Homo-oligomer: A and B are copies of this chain.
């Protein structure tokens, strides 16, 4: 892969590694803007809102411009396809998620004109709404911004 900065890989690492495990990747993280957060819910709307709110509050995307919200929204949905694998639904299908998420904004391509892209990653658990009846899940979405 000829990409200069792997924003997808960085988002995945930010969502799945703890602080100590992230240490070797600090250099790569200096080339991008990012935020992280947590969302635990049976309600898909709350998961989407948690990511959007974090990305706006921490100035990863602009609140004023619809095209940035549109880009982030589709990156979130694509990441949720990986999390839910088949139907973007949780509570309606009697399952719950406990997720850590990361949003990374950077310039993955060296070519002129490619500009900025967004990566959204989720990592955590999905399962029955009973503690322990769950397994790991992950998702990644990428979009131009």
Contact = CB atoms under 8 A, between A and B. Distances in A.
Main DSSP-derived SS at the A contact region: mixed
A12 B10 CA distance: 12
A85 B80 CA distance: 9
Interface residues of A, number: 71
Which residue among A62, A127, A135 has the maximum number of chain B CB atoms within 10 Å of its CB?
Answer: A135
B144 A70 contact: yes
A130 B86 CA distance: 26
A87 B128 CA distance: 20
A54 interface: no
Contacts of A93: 44-45, 48, 77, 88
A83 B73 CA distance: 16
A2 interface: yes
A128 B12 CA distance: 23
Contact of A82 (B24, B81, B94, B108): B81
Contacts of A16: 9, 12-13
A135 to B, nearest CB: 5
A14 to B, nearest CB: 12
Given A45-B93, A78-B86, 14 more contacts: A2-B131, A7-B136, A13-B16, A66-B111, A66-B134, A67-B114, A67-B115, A67-B117, A70-B135, A77-B93, A78-B85, A82-B85, A86-B88, A137-B140
